[in-house]
Structure 1
Amino acid sequence: MAQATRLSTVAQRRIQSELNEWMRSPPEGCCLESCEPMTSWVVIMQGPEGAGGVRLYSDEVFRVRIDFGEQYPLDPPDVIFLAPAPIHPHIYSNGHICLDILYSGRNGGWSPALTMSKVVLSLRSMLASNTDKRKPPGDAEYCARVGNRSPKLSNWVFEDDKV
């Protein structure tokens, strides 16, 4: 479980606003398991049916942890799948996700305009578009090297937009 983070006033207001919106209108296929402390959410996500009726993940349920930092929404939160993570070419066994919108910096696509509802819908879409259940290349080596540290400390290269 994540430690409580001291939040800026902007972060507190934004997270509370997103939480209120989530409670009014949760994203399709998702529900909030916990949000205590407010800086750490756990989302339960139903695996989506894929395009053309492909059912790679539709009978599975996943848990996603979202840890907000003190500078949210200027900085993205840490977003990881809790064990067992989906078997997917962009999701490592330790739950780290190679998806540009989860990261800032020169390669990242994070925007403060993104909300956690949009993020989890993007994760469901990423699962739905996959056609081959396989782990990312170098999964075991990556997980051994980084362990459970923040995925934002990894140097991600986003070049595959097919899945």
Structure 2
Amino acid sequence: MADRAVKRINSELKRLSQEPVPNVVIDTENLEELRTITVSLGGASGTLYDGETFKLQFTFDRNYPFTPPEVIFVGENIPVHPHVYTNGHICLSVLGDDWSPAMGMSSVCLSILSMLSSCKEKKRPVDNTIYVNICGKSPTSSFWAYHDDAV
């Protein structure tokens, strides 16, 4: 990984330890490589996801932060949400077209928490089965149509 990306990720991890994001805990067990970081994300109080914990996996490439990280839900508990597919892929514009190098792990976690917190009904995306059967392993290879902000 490029030195620039490593410096940026280390800086973000330091900031997250000094200024933690509510309901977000970094898994510090596997931080040696810095290419993949796992985060525990707790559902916000008073929401449909209150009391639930999810795992997010951030994967960074050598061009980070000029390209967004790949972020997916992993593990047994993938949230049931209209923008989260059963394979853990997340349809969220800041993970693609709306990414900015000024963003980072904190802002991505806050965006995902906000997305989950604003959900009115736990349900899968209408195209979940089709998408999961035809998509690649990485959500970065998918073409996302961001069309439903009212979830």
TM-score, length of structure 2 as denominator length: 0.93
**What is the match of residue 81 of structure 1?**
73
| Correspondence 1:29 to 2:18 | no
Cα deviation, residue 113, structure 1: 0.3
- Structure 2 CA distance for aligned equivalents of residues 162 and 91 of structure 1: 15
Task: Select 1:47's aligned residue among 43, 48, 52.
Answer: 43
1:135 shift after superposition = 0.1
1:70-126 alpha-carbon deviations (Å, 9 max, x no partner): 1000000100011321000000000000000001xxxx1000000101110110010
**What amino acid is the match of 1:162?**
A
- Counterpart CA distance in 2 for 1:121 and 1:58 is 15
Structure 1 segments, 4+ long, off by >6 Å, are none
The alignment covers a number of residue pairs equal to 148
- Residue 37 of structure 1 and its aligned partner are, at CA, apart by 2.2
Secondary structure of 1:86's aligned partner: coil
CA drift at 1:10? 1.2
| Superposed displacement of residue 36, structure 1 | 3.8
Which of 11, 19, 26 is the matching residue for 2:5? Answer: 11
Structure 2: gaps of 5 or more residues? none
Taking the aligned partners of 2:114 and 2:32, their CA distance within structure 1 comes to 27
- Deviation of 1:159 after TM superposition, in Å, equals 1.2
Quote the Cα distance in structure 2 between the aligned partners of 1:137 and 1:36. Answer: 39
Paired residue for 2:50? 58
Percent of aligned positions that are identical: 40
Question: Using the alignment, how far apart are the partners of 1:86 and 1:94 within structure 2?
Answer: 10
Match of 1:132 in 2: 121
What is the Cα deviation at residue 131 of structure 1?
0.4
Q: Is 1:95 aligned to 2:88, yes or no?
A: yes
TM-aligned CA deviation for residue 146 of structure 1? 1.8
Provide structure 1 residue ranges, at least 5 long, that are not aligned to the other structure. Answer: 1-6
Q: CA deviation at 1:138?
A: 1.6
Residues 1:152 and 2:144 aligned together: no
Measured after TM superposition, the shift of residue 29 of structure 1 is 0.6
Instruction: Let me know the Cα RMSD of the aligned residues.
Output: 1.2
Q: Structure 2 counterpart of 1:40, which letter?
A: T
- Map Cα deviations across residues 43-69 of structure 1 (whole Å, 9 max, x no partner): 0011113xxx4x310021000000010
User: What is the CA distance between 1:23 and its match in structure 2?
Assistant: 1.3
Counterpart of 2:102, as a letter, is A
